[in-house]
Chains A and B, each alone.
Chain A
Amino acid sequence: AQKVTQAQTEISVVEKEDVTLDCVYETRDTTYYLFWYKQPPSGELVFLIRRNSFDEQNEISGRYSWNFQKSTSSFNFTITASQVVDSAVYFCALSEAYNNNDMRFGAGTRLTVKP
């Protein structure tokens, strides 16, 4: 069965520091999608990125970047020059092509960015 592990429960950094959130996944499928979502204190999940299993190119979007490494089954997320507004819980998720409908979330990493 698919599984997503976010080993870092909580991370605290000072503003302007870079921070990397780890995500390790397990799947039997060769076709799958990985996601990152942000959940600010308001509770709403904000979609950040979707990456398919055939595309290992790293992606950068402003201060956000993602490193997908199939060899280590990891999909890590880095925030550069963190800001207080980045404080939130971040979830990594996996969806398998053969397992229709099922998206599994990691436990989440609570990021606190202090001024």
Chain B
Amino acid sequence: GAVVSQHPSRVICKSGTSVKIECRSLDFQATTMFWYRQFPKKSLMLMATSNEGSKATYEQGVEKDKFLINHASLTLSTLTVTSAHPEDSSFYICSARMGRGRSTDTQYFGPGTRLTVL
């Protein structure tokens, strides 16, 4: 159990285009999903917290107009990188929290999406 998928696993796009990344919890309902960004050989940095049916909460320094997050159902959250630029190239990882949505429940992570912006 506790499987989280991401699609696509890898995407290459031209500068100025928008890219949508999907995160799905396959065998459980996730009231909360998280989006992280990881630069090469670096740790995970939380970008935003996505709650089903409400607006995402963004971390300081993360542009909400650039990184659009939608959590339309208990099993799906999407991250759209709008007008992508080379500096947006990174490894994006989502996670979903099991349980009744308590802050200390375990987060299960997706396999990540490697975005390369040319």
Contacts and interface: CB of A to CB of B under 8 A. Distances in A.
B42 interface: yes
Chain B's interface size range is 20 to 34
Interface in A16-68: 31-33, 35, 37, 42-47, 50, 52
Contact of A95 (B2, B93, B103, B108): B103
A35 B106 contact: yes
29 contacts: A31-B104, A32-B104, A35-B107, A37-B109, A42-B111, A43-B91, A43-B93, A44-B109, A44-B112, A45-B93, A45-B95, A45-B112, A47-B108, A50-B106, A52-B104, A96-B103, A98-B103, A99-B103, A101-B34, A101-B49, A101-B57, A101-B103, A102-B46, A103-B46, A103-B107, A105-B43, A105-B44, A106-B43, A108-B43
Interface of B: 2, 32, 34, 41-44, 46, 49, 57, 91, 93, 95, 103-104, 106-112, 114
